[in-house]
Structures are given as structure tokens and as C-alpha cells.
Structure 1
Amino acid sequence: MIVCFNGNSFIMKLHMQLVVLITGWASICFAAPSFHDETLVAHMDNLRVSEASGLAASRKHRGVLYTHNDADKPEPFVYAINATNAAIISTLRLFPAENHDWEDIAVGPCGDRSCIYVGDSSSHKLYRVEEPDYIHSDQILTDVLAVHTDWSHQFDTLMIDRHGNAYVVRSHIDQDRLIGRLSRDAWNNSHTVQIETFQLPHLHHLHSSDPKSGDISADGTQLLLLTEEQVYYWKVHNDDVIGTLRHNSPTVLPTKTHGVVEGICWDQAGVNYYEIAESYHTGPPLLIFNRR
């Protein structure tokens, strides 16, 4: 038996099948990840860290996180903590640096090195210092660089992309949510530097103090913004943080449902994420959200 078919019709059907196949594959590959609700790691030492604000994962030391106190306990100290039990491993004194109102911390590249970045919302300064080679004892980190910016808005969020560019997000306002970008090349300036500013689209359920923290994964492909009610997640497209935030809808991830959560970060591998909350009676709780 001879089977005949229309060539154009056959090609069109084959094309449509391929489109469906490829589209389905893409939706699987680029679907947002799913996470379990929070698991308490442990409470930190309340005597040293009682106003935890900001969280970041070390790139040099596996299983180490960094945090600090905010303006209610204005010490220029970064605390290196064990990610498995929240114990303080080391107190890192940043010098020269002042804590007027440190609100967030991040870790990212600085040339071919890995650096700790701290954002001071009150003085409109960003600090940067190389991660120490060891953290098994308290120490002073010298050679801290500071850049004074023209960003006149309050911010609680500092993020560093995989190239070393810094991002701050305006908070303590109901509308006009802005994000600013500081080039990685700005750190050699001794004068006030300009932050490139962009308008962010509307995000649902924001309180005036939101967002409270944020982080970009080490490989630059995933971004988190922490708010009082939820966590927003973006898959960074084409290595473009600003474009992704402005033109792509986020996915909502779980967050701690009570208490004042002030810091969020990816783990070193960008698989799970951590949160830390302020605490007035017990030590600040360190929480982990494990990927399903």
C-alpha cells in the first residue's frame, strides 16, 4: 500500500510538535525551585548579636555565614558564624569603619578576590574588605575600603552580582521603590560617587520598611528579595540584574511567618537559603529553607 501526504502539512505538524516539545522542556528547565518551610538551625549568642541585620555566606570558607548588628548596637563588627549550629566562630573588626546603621551585608568578587561588603544606610556608605584567610579566632580586618555615595534614600538591602557590582534597594517608603547600582570600578574614588538609579515595578504586600534584605547567588543566576510577608525569587536572565527585576515577574517563596526577619542569603552553592531574625529576649534565630 502506498501512503501519500501533503509535504507542507506534514512539515507544519512536525514543526508544531517540536515547538510543544521544546516549550515543555524549557518550562521544566527554567521552573522556579520549590523549598520547604523554615527549619530552625539554632539561636545565636544574644549577648554579642542582639540586633542581627543582614546575612551573607562566605565564598572562601564552607559552612560559614556573616552577620552584624544594626544601629541599635552600632559596633563595626562582622560576626562569622557556623551555619550548622549558629555558633560565633570569630568577631571581625572592620578598620577603618563606623557602624552608623549597618543594614545589610553581602559577599562577592572584588577583582580576583572574594570580599565582604557592608551597607550603612545612615551614612550612605558602602564598605568592602577582603575575606580573611582564616576565621578560627577574633581579628581585625584592615585595608577596608569605603565609598560614599550620592544615594540619599534609606535602604535595607545590599546585593553583589558575580562581577562585583553593588545594588541597593530603597526602603521606608510606600511608593517609588528604587534600585541603585554601583559599578565595581567605583571603589577607587575618594569623592562622592553617583549610583545609577532605576524604577522597580510594583511588588505586592510590601510594607514601608520593605525590602529588608536580598542576595544574589554566587553564580549570578538567582536573586532573592526578603519582605515582611514573603520572599521574592527571580531567575536572572542574560546576566542582567536590573533588566530581570524590571521586566520579569517573581516567584513567591516561603519565609518565617512571625518575628522581625532582617537578613537572607543563599548558601555557598546557591541551593538552599538562610534567614536571620532580630531577637530581644533570646538569641537571634538562624533558619534554613531547604530545596525540595
Structure 2
Amino acid sequence: MKKLILLGVVLIASLLLLEYFQTKNHQSLFSYGKIQGKVKSPLVNEASGIAASIRNPGMIWTHNDSGGQPRVFLMDEHGKHHGTYYLRNGINRDWEDMATGPGPDPDKNYLYIAETGSNYGQYPYFHIFRVEEPLAGDTANVTAIVDWLTFTYPDGTNDSECLLVDPLTKDFYIFTKKEPNVAVYRYPYPQPKKDSETLIKLGTIPFSHVVGGDISADGSEILLKTYDKILYWKRKEGESIWEALQRKATRLPYIPEPQGEAICWKKDGSGFYTLSEETTGYEAHLYFYKRNNIE
């Protein structure tokens, strides 16, 4: 028994030491999160992704996890509900993340929804739904026809909860979830609407349980979220997302949430938001982490 306890202590210490060499703490970049408000729509009870709106400044999109209707919700920066929008020809098998960004029409802004969950490895193919971003106050509350961007993995099925849309190249980056070192895949632009595409595997990064992420509007900063930490990379000019991820991550301040899977940048770059799913005894609150002004 003593040997087992000692082995457990050594294992935990090794994991902590490994994480120390994988990340560097830098609490001066951003302040700890402050609650902006409670998510007030009773329809939002399993928020799995958030994305700052481009078309509706100061607004934030969110969606529920698997098995619900194909719909997205618009709220303000204090959690007040501003509309429910249905994807006309979409489905919600297992939605896990979302993003806003550019797309095929340079005069339009797009909303991307990642149907990438596969908890038991049961799905052979996956989708990114792309739709022109709805306008707040649209009484129709139904989006335009959704583009189904279908893909498979080159190495079998995977469970993923993180989608990044690169605003500079329009490429997608998809991260697996459960492995000790999660895999990173690229879905290059232009993504075909009719045929399934096989993703390009780029490699792995030394983190597990990546459940969300986002790229800043100017493409220069990357956030990834696990259940207990937020990771940050600064992207150099001319560098790809994958190249940036090869450097050591900076670990940012984080207030743990019971089921925190959602993160997004504020579009002006002044900070970022996180949001948790509701759990027993916990109401979902929107947190904002403000960027510190460092001379």
C-alpha cells in the first residue's frame, strides 16, 4: 500500500512538473474575471460555446450542447437575452463550439457552429455549419440556408470541443479533447460545401481536455481553454496558428467554473469572456477578463 501511495505521489508530482515546463504563468496580462451578469434566457441551460458578434457590436452568441433544436441565442454583455435564431436546414446532433469570422463573401460576416462532439466515438463524419451572421432584431428569427461543411479525420473518429477560425486565412483548426496530448487538425479554406473533406493532422500539443478556444479579431492572439486553465499564445507576423502553438503557452488567470467550456475574445481585444453550463445549484454567469494596460 505504501508503495502505491508513493507511486501516486510521484505521478502527481511528475504531472505538475510537466505542466510547469509546458506553460508559464503571466497574471499581469489580464485581470481575474468579473461577473458581468447571469444568463437570463431559460432556454440557455447547457452553453457549450460562445462567440462575440461582428454584425451586432457588444453582443455575444451562444448555443446549447447536444440533442436540442438547431438554434443560437444572442445576448448582450450582461447576459440579457436578445433573440433566438433557428438554422433553417441545420441539425443539432452534438454542438460543441462556435466562432464568428470571415467567409466566402468578403462583404459578409459569418457564424460557424462546430458539430464535432462524439463522446463514445460513434460518429464517422462531422460538420461545421456556416451561415451569414443574423442581425439583431430580425423578426423572422430564421437564418439563411446553412452551408454544411462536412469532414472526416485521417486517423478514425475523434471527440472535439474546440474550433478556431483563422481570420487571416479562413482556415479552421480543430482540437481533440480526451487524449493526454490532444491532436490538432487543419481544415483549409476554401472548405467544400458538397463533398466531405479529410482534415490535415498537424500534430499534438501537451495539453488534455481542450474544451474551447478563440482567435482574436486581428488574428494575433490565441486562447485555448481546458476545464481548469486558460492558455494564451501571441502569434508573430507571418506565422501560422500551428507554428505559434509550438511555443510555450502562457497560463492566464482563471476563476474555475463547474462546467466551463466556452471562451471568446471581445472583438475590440480589450479582454475575453468565459461561460459555464448550468449545473445543479449553479446558475450560468458570464465572466469578463480585462486586459491590463502594461507600459
2:183 is aligned to 178
Question: For 2:28 and 2:215, how far apart are their aligned partners in 1?
Answer: 15
Q: Could you tell me which of 91, 95, 120 is aligned with 1:102? A: 95
TM-fit CA distance, 1:47: 2.0
1:90 maps to amino acid: G
TM-fit CA distance, 1:132: 2.0
1:93 is aligned to 86
1:240 is aligned to 240
TM-fit CA distance, 1:138: 6.0
Matched, 1:155 2:160: yes
Change (3 A) 1:133 1:278: closer
Question: For 1:179 and 1:33, how far apart are their aligned partners in 2?
Answer: 28
1:81 is aligned to 75
Question: For 2:27 and 2:242, how far apart are their aligned partners in 1?
Answer: 19
Structure index of larger Rg: 1
- Residues 1-292 of structure 1: matches in 2 within 5 Å? 34-45=29-40, 47-71=42-66, 73-83=67-77, 85-111=78-104, 112=106, 113-121=108-116, 122=118, 124-135=126-137, 137=139, 139-151=141-153, 152-162=157-167, 163-175=169-181, 177-188=182-193, 190-203=194-207, 206=208, 210-237=209-236, 238-245=238-245, 247-281=246-280, 282-292=282-292
SS of equivalent residue, structure 1 residue 156: strand
SS of equivalent residue, structure 1 residue 242: helix
SS of equivalent residue, structure 1 residue 53: strand
1:11 is aligned to none
Percentage of pairs with the same residue = 25
Comparing 97-106 and 160-169, the one that deviates more: 160-169
- Contact kept? 2:258, 2:279, Cα under 8 Å: no
Question: For 1:248 and 1:48, how far apart are their aligned partners in 2?
Answer: 40
| TM-score (ref. length: structure 2) | 0.81
- Contact kept? 2:259, 2:279, Cα under 8 Å: no
Question: For 1:88 and 1:136, how far apart are their aligned partners in 2?
Answer: 14
Question: For 1:147 and 1:37, how far apart are their aligned partners in 2?
Answer: 37
Q: Flag structure 1 segments of 5+ consecutive residues without an equivalent.
A: 1-30
TM-fit CA distance, 1:161: 0.6
Comparing 133-142 and 191-200, the one that deviates more: 133-142
Change (3 A) 1:232 1:63: same
Question: For 1:45 and 1:142, how far apart are their aligned partners in 2?
Answer: 26
Question: For 2:285 and 2:34, how far apart are their aligned partners in 1?
Answer: 10
SS of equivalent residue, structure 1 residue 97: coil
Question: For 2:27 and 2:187, how far apart are their aligned partners in 1?
Answer: 28
Q: CA deviation digits over 1:14-42, x for unaligned, max 9?
A: xxxxxxxxxxxxxxxxx996111110111
Question: For 2:195 and 2:147, how far apart are their aligned partners in 1?
Answer: 13
Question: For 1:155 and 1:77, how far apart are their aligned partners in 2?
Answer: 20
Q: CA deviation digits over 1:224-259, x for unaligned, max 9?
A: 0001111000011224101111x2111000122241
- Contact kept? 1:128, 1:146, Cα under 8 Å: yes
- Contact kept? 1:159, 1:168, Cα under 8 Å: yes
- Contact kept? 1:220, 1:239, Cα under 8 Å: no
2:85 maps to amino acid: L
The number of equivalent residue pairs is 252
- Contact kept? 1:89, 1:136, Cα under 8 Å: no
